[in-house]
Chains A and B, each alone.
Chain A
């Protein structure tokens, strides 16, 4: 069984720690994944802006990278959503590529989907004694239907206090190029989201998409907020590593995030 990592361009270039954390968590569950370096980007930035040939050129690297994988796992609901929801449309005029795209969609899973639905794991034995709030990214929850899986994983983490995020389902304002093209509106949206995050008084904000988390943490830094922002893979990896170490209660150091 070939399990391949679809790292996403954002994690590749800016947040490699997230990719590493995901790979490590999978390994701890007995899955030795591989990384086909041919992959570049799912093409979403170009696709969402209406530049479909450019998007297809990028998407083709994924078709190639994963053509003989049995499972493809990505730390992003948004990128998986792109594959599932839009690849068949993107390649609708090319029957051969469309067929490959549909095959790819059938075997691509967002990280928590893979853990919970494929590996049937909800309790990773992780320890993370902190107050955490969770932001469900739009594409992950609405396009992919990922809602229960992260909740199940979080509820299995010892010591973790999950605080509900008010109006969690509201978009954070990232939307890819929207954040730059309609920056005032995006700014208003991320301000509102950040207000809600701060309301929870959580120590850590977690989620499934670095696009969203980069957006919110960028605004948090701008405002000077103390909340740590971690992808769920990082949180779980930290928690699993902590479980292995002999600990002193309450002294767990939070995994740092640069931004």
Chain B
């Protein structure tokens, strides 16, 4: 499918072409639209029900926000505490300033261990830094073990949703992919397909040299990484192979185990509506002396890759509060119509629309991602930690304009806007002109012509014509009638207004 994002998408992770073009392709794919709609409906319904069931959800959100705010504001302290405690627990802790550093460190570990196979559980960060490409280039087999990730790895595609990566694939397509891998025809039946994946991946778990996980949260208090999952593959890859590598975004810190309870309450409910994922594992270092299983060696790679760029920026620092639950994707009407691949990079949906430009230093790659939003605010409403993504999208648009990357037509129109709207007389003159100018276009009170800037509108809608007389022209006449209409209840209304105005300014400040 030409709209699909392939995995080897280049260093920055952003695909060529525009969101608009990819969206157009996605909008024509009925299966994709049906699948995305079904999935997001289910998940957002799940979130709402789970929030209701938990009760006092707004207080939980506020607490989640407070903890994230505090953590990010003191990230230097907590990262150090985490690293010290993790090392004391026997883990090797590495710091990767860039995605390339994370890859380099991983490759060093893999090569020095003579690794031939790596088994991976789901990690958006590993997609962000393109670890699989590097491993494969070095001749090391890297196997995704999360069922959805396994499927899209076989297809050579990028995930289209943070939580359910393969929603754009139907059963038949999946059966085809797995049959090829199996060397035998598998029926398009979920149980059979999942059963094959379980058997095949079991072999890989038991023979792999390295297991790689992401990290949902890292508890600074004890140097523990915490992984949330439903399948059991993250437990597998962090228990069976000799070496465990955990890739951790530097913002994933949580100060204490107590704070983890808040995250454990917000994350699963916001992501899928579950009270808790089937498995939540706190891993502190490699196996202890005397343990019979668990990795002998554990590495935690803490990654920056553009995250620190947001620190100190009051408009974008809150981006680092994100706990990658995907609730914004499920709430977003744009995502629901175009799916994840149309966004063209590792992270999609509202969080992706802000994160991708924010993490990437290269302004040219911003594309029109920030424009793929009607600013409805559903993302902010759904976010368990109240990130104002809808505001950030506007800030991104402003930054783009400030850096001179404006669309020439739009810039000209905005110049015109300024001239006309800064002075009522100019507005009145412009309206008068436009009323004349629209005459050839208006039929039965509407404009249907698909020309010029109107085309985007009239492709799907009739446009209204300008009124024969604007409100301001008929105001005088209206005003005279209003005095009479208001007379009967005027005194009563005045009393109410005065009382309200007084209550508005308790210190008796002058209302003017």
Contact = CB atoms under 8 A, between A and B. Distances in A.
Given A52-B398, A171-B374, A258-B445, A13 B421 contact: no
A61 B424 contact: yes
Contacts of B483: 27, 32
A96 interface: no
A52 B400 CA distance: 12
A120 B461 contact: no
Query: Which of B453, B460, B498 has the most chain A CB atoms closer than 10 A to its own CB?
Result: B460
A170 B435 CA distance: 34
Contacts of A142: 376-378, 380-381
A118 B422 contact: no
B56 interface: no
B414 A46 contact: yes
B77 interface: no
B376 A45 contact: no
B456 A180 contact: yes
A70 B464 contact: no
Given A29-B493, A30-B494, A40-B421, A188 B486 contact: no
Interface in B397-416: 397-402, 410-411, 414-415
A221 B494 contact: no
A58 B457 contact: no
B397 A182 contact: no
Contacts of B399: 50
Interface in A33-62: 33-35, 37-41, 43, 45-54, 57-58, 60-61
Judged by DSSP, the binding face of B is helix
A208 B417 CA distance: 25
B100 interface: no
Contact of B461 (A20, A30, A215): A215
Contacts of B20: 182, 184
A184 B275 CA distance: 37
A242 interface: no
A19 B471 CA distance: 7
B374 A189 contact: yes
Contacts of B496: 118-120
Nearest to B411: A51
Interface in B1-51: 19-20, 23-24, 27
Interface residues of B, number: 84
A41 B501 CA distance: 26
Interface stretch (A4-12, A126-134, A197-205, A245-253): A4-12
A58 B422 contact: yes
A61 B408 CA distance: 26
B457 A180 contact: yes
B462 A48 contact: no
B475 A181 contact: no
What 5 A-B pairs come out closest when comparing CB atoms? Answer: A175-B374, A30-B489, A218-B461, A30-B493, A50-B397
Interface of B: 19-20, 23-24, 27, 333-334, 337-338, 368, 371-378, 380-381, 394, 396-402, 410-411, 414-415, 417-418, 420-424, 427, 431, 445-446, 453-457, 459-467, 469-472, 474-475, 478-479, 482-483, 485-486, 488-494, 496-498, 500-501, 504, 511-512
Interface of A: 1, 3, 7, 9, 11-17, 19-20, 23-24, 26-35, 37-41, 43, 45-54, 57-58, 60-61, 67-68, 70-71, 86, 106-107, 118-120, 138-139, 142-143, 169-171, 173-192, 214-215, 218-219, 221-222, 258-259
